[in-house]
Structure 1
Amino acid sequence: MPDIEKTGQKRSNHSSTIAEDSPNSSNSSGSESDKKYQVTLDESEHPQNCSTWRKWAAVFVISSCALCVACTSSAASFTENGVAKEFNVSHEVTILAISLFVQGMGLGPLLAGPLSEVYGRNLVYQVSFVLVFALSFAVAFAPNIEIYLIFRFICGFFGSTFLSVAGGSVSDLFDDEHVGNPMAIYTISPFIGPVLGPLLSGFINQNVDWRWTYYVLIMWTFVQTIALFLIVPETFIPVLTARKAARLRRETKNDVWWASLDRQNNNLGQAILISCYRPFQLMIRDPMASLLNLWTSLVLGILYLAFQAFPVVFELGHGFSTQQTGMSFLGIGLGMLLALATQGYWNGVMKRETEKAEKEGLRGGAPPEARLYMGEVGGILIPLGLLLIAVLTPPSIPWPLPIILGSVLFGAGVYFCFTSTFTYLVTAYRPIAASAMASNSAMRSTFAAVFPLFAGFLYGGTSDGGISEGLKAKNSGWGRIGNGLGTVGATGLLAAVMALAAPLPFIFRRIGARLRARSKFAV
Structure 2
Amino acid sequence: MTACITFDSSIHVTAIKGVSASFSCSKTVATLGLTTFLIGFATGPLLFAPLSEVFGRTIIFRVTLGLFVVFNVGCALAPNVESLLVFRFLCGFFGSPTVTNSGGCLADMWRAEERSVPFALFTTGSSLGPAVAPIVGGFVSEHLSWRWMYWVVTILSGTVYIAMLFLLPETYATVLLQRKAKNAGIVPPRQSFKEQYATNLTRPCIMLFTEPILFTLGLYSAFVWGILYLDFTAYPVVFQTTRGWSEGIAGLSFLGIGLGMAIATTSSPWINDIHGAFVKRLGGPKPEARLPHLIILAWFIPVALFWFGWTANPPTHWAVSIAAGVPFGIGFVTLFLGTNAYLTDCYGRFSASALAANAVMRSLFSGGFPLFARQMYVKMETPWASSLLGFIAVAMAPVPWLLYMYGPWLRERSKYHLWTVELEEKEAADRNLSYNC
Taking structure 1 as the reference length, the TM-score comes to 0.78
1:390 to 309, 325, 328: 309
Contact 1:105 1:160 in 2 (8 A): yes
Give the aligned partner of residue 280 of structure 2. 355
Give the aligned partner of residue 230 of structure 1. 166
**1:154-173 equivalences in 2 (<5 Å):** 154-173=90-109
Between the aligned partners of 1:118 and 1:511, the Cα distance in structure 2 is 33
1:391-432 deviation line (CA, Å, top 9, x unaligned): 11112111111111x110111010111111110000011131
Between the aligned partners of 2:297 and 2:126, the Cα distance in structure 1 is 17
**1:311-326 equivalences in 2 (<5 Å):** 311-326=236-251
Contact 2:305 2:387 in 1 (8 A): yes
Give the aligned partner of residue 503 of structure 1. 398
**1:27-426 equivalences in 2 (<5 Å):** 65-249=1-185, 257-259=186-188, 263-267=190-194, 270-358=195-283, 365-404=284-323, 406-426=324-344
Between the aligned partners of 2:290 and 2:4, the Cα distance in structure 1 is 27
Aligned positions, number:
418
The alpha-carbon deviation at position 518 of structure 1 amounts to 1.8
Contact 1:378 1:415 in 2 (8 A): no
Cα RMSD of the aligned pairs, angstroms, is: 1.3
Q: Residues 316 and 275 (structure 1 numbering): CA distance in 2 closer, same or farther, change over 3 Å?
A: farther
Secondary structure of the residue aligned to 1:432 is helix
1:79-132 deviation line (CA, Å, top 9, x unaligned): 111111111111010111111101111111111112112221111101111111
Between the aligned partners of 1:258 and 1:175, the Cα distance in structure 2 is 29
Mean CA deviation greater in 367-376 or 273-282 = 273-282
The alpha-carbon deviation at position 246 of structure 1 amounts to 2.5
Between the aligned partners of 1:378 and 1:124, the Cα distance in structure 2 is 35
- Structure 2: 5+ residue runs without aligned partners? 419-437
The alpha-carbon deviation at position 258 of structure 1 amounts to 2.6
Between the aligned partners of 1:278 and 1:294, the Cα distance in structure 2 is 18
The alpha-carbon deviation at position 211 of structure 1 amounts to 0.6
What letter matches 1:280 in structure 2?
C
Between the aligned partners of 1:369 and 1:126, the Cα distance in structure 2 is 34
Give the aligned partner of residue 490 of structure 1. 385
What letter matches 1:436 in structure 2?
A
**1:447-486 equivalences in 2 (<5 Å):** 447-460=365-378, 484-486=379-381
The alpha-carbon deviation at position 274 of structure 1 amounts to 3.6
Between the aligned partners of 1:313 and 1:293, the Cα distance in structure 2 is 29
Between the aligned partners of 1:327 and 1:296, the Cα distance in structure 2 is 25
Q: Residues 272 and 320 (structure 1 numbering): CA distance in 2 closer, same or farther, change over 3 Å?
A: farther
Between the aligned partners of 2:121 and 2:395, the Cα distance in structure 1 is 29
Between the aligned partners of 1:170 and 1:348, the Cα distance in structure 2 is 19
Between the aligned partners of 1:393 and 1:357, the Cα distance in structure 2 is 43
Give the aligned partner of residue 521 of structure 1. 416
What letter matches 1:437 in structure 2?
L
Between the aligned partners of 1:272 and 1:74, the Cα distance in structure 2 is 32
The runs of at least 4 aligned residues of structure 1 exceeding 6 Å deviation read none
The alpha-carbon deviation at position 321 of structure 1 amounts to 0.8
Between the aligned partners of 2:101 and 2:107, the Cα distance in structure 1 is 10
What letter matches 2:190 in structure 1?
R
